[in-house]
Amino acid sequence: MTARRGAEAPLLEAEGLALQVGGRWLCCEFSLTLAAGECLALLGPNGAGKTTLLHTLAGLREPTAGRVRIGGRPYAAWPAPEAARFRGLLAQQQPDHFAASVLETVLIGRHPHLGRWGWEGAEDERIARDALAAVGLAGFAQRDVLTLSGGERQRVAIAALLVQAPRLYLLDEPLNHLDLHHQIATLDMFRRLVREDAGGPGRGVVMVLHDIDLAARYADHVILLDGRGGVRAGERDSVLRPDLLSHAFGHPLRRYEVDGRVTFIPD
């Protein structure tokens, strides 16, 4: 995992990271580096610690051991608004306690750029409308978010992250509530964002997934938590092995290749 530009610090570094919650080890020490243009998938069974790890990588909680850096600096060295422009988190649960239009909800993602709540006007609205179009919700701007379906709300949350336009996207189960078409469209969109950022600052994605086949298709690197404190982190094919996956998920899996695509089928 080498940085795309020689002199530039990696987007994300975790060194000797270990996490313990409520007296239970979620992962023992491991290290990883994510460079611009790369995509990392976090996999593991329910309760293994994927969200906890993602929040640690987002700087929302301290690791039990080790350190996290984004752009070469620990979170403590980042002024909050700068960190908010550098990394953005798509939360697993979307808040449902406020009523607002879809457009207003998406515009919340502009907050780190404006330094306050609200927006400047036409330019921000254009950015928000472009993001809504990118997630297939062009006609939804004036709808009340509370009237949306689960998949539509998930795509509104993704649009809000798009207008935030961080360099490091941290996605907790981005495919929640999405049908097959929108799952593929969403992962294609994030892959384009990180791969085709020619001349841009360089972006990367870390995403919690439950679908091993989609991780095999979209991730360059994988972290696999086994739910018992064990962790494997590395290049996709060194981690997505039937023995490691079967151990982690407690169910035997076989690996097949169909038309050049890798798939894991439970016995």
Report if residue 48 touches ligand ATP, rule: CB under 6 A: yes
Query: Min. distance of Cβ 53 from ligand ATP in angstroms?
Result: 7
The tokens of 205 are what? 């994605």
Total of residues contacting ligand ATP (CB under 6 A): 11
Nearer CB in complex with ligand ATP: 48/103? 48
Rg (CA), the chain: 18
SS3 98: coil
What is the Cα–Cα distance from 187 to 208, expressed in whole angstroms?
12
Report if residue 166 touches ligand ATP, rule: CB under 6 A: no
* C-alpha triplet 237, 241, 242: angle, nearest 5°: 155
- Of 16, 47, 150, 266, the one binding ligand ATP (CB under 6 A) is 47
Q: Which residues in 1-30 contact ligand ATP (CB under 6 A)?
A: 21-22, 26
- Amino acid occupying residue 149: S
Query: Min. distance of Cβ 236 from ligand ATP in angstroms?
Result: 19
Report if residue 182 touches ligand ATP, rule: CB under 6 A: no
- Of 34, 36, 38, 52, the one binding ligand ATP (CB under 6 A) is 52
What is the Cα–Cα distance from 117 to 150, expressed in whole angstroms?
26
- Of 10, 49, 71, 204, the one binding ligand ATP (CB under 6 A) is 49
Query: Min. distance of Cβ 89 from ligand ATP in angstroms?
Result: 13
Report if residue 155 touches ligand ATP, rule: CB under 6 A: no
Element spanning 183, H or E = helix 180-195
Report if residue 50 touches ligand ATP, rule: CB under 6 A: yes
Does residue 70 contact residue 168 with C-beta atoms inside 8 Å?
Answer: yes
Nearer CB in complex with ligand ATP: 22/260? 22
Contacts of 121 (CB under 8 A, 6+ apart): none
- Of 2, 46, 142, 149, the one binding ligand ATP (CB under 6 A) is 46
Does residue 199 contact residue 145 with C-beta atoms inside 8 Å?
Answer: no
Report if residue 174 touches ligand ATP, rule: CB under 6 A: no
Report if residue 158 touches ligand ATP, rule: CB under 6 A: no
Strand spans (E) along the chain = 12-21, 24-34, 39-43, 65-70, 73-74, 87-90, 168-172, 204-208, 221-225, 231-235, 253-258, 261-266
- Of 15, 29, 51, 130, the one binding ligand ATP (CB under 6 A) is 51
Q: State the residues that interact with ligand ATP by CB under 6 A.
A: 21-22, 26, 44, 46-52
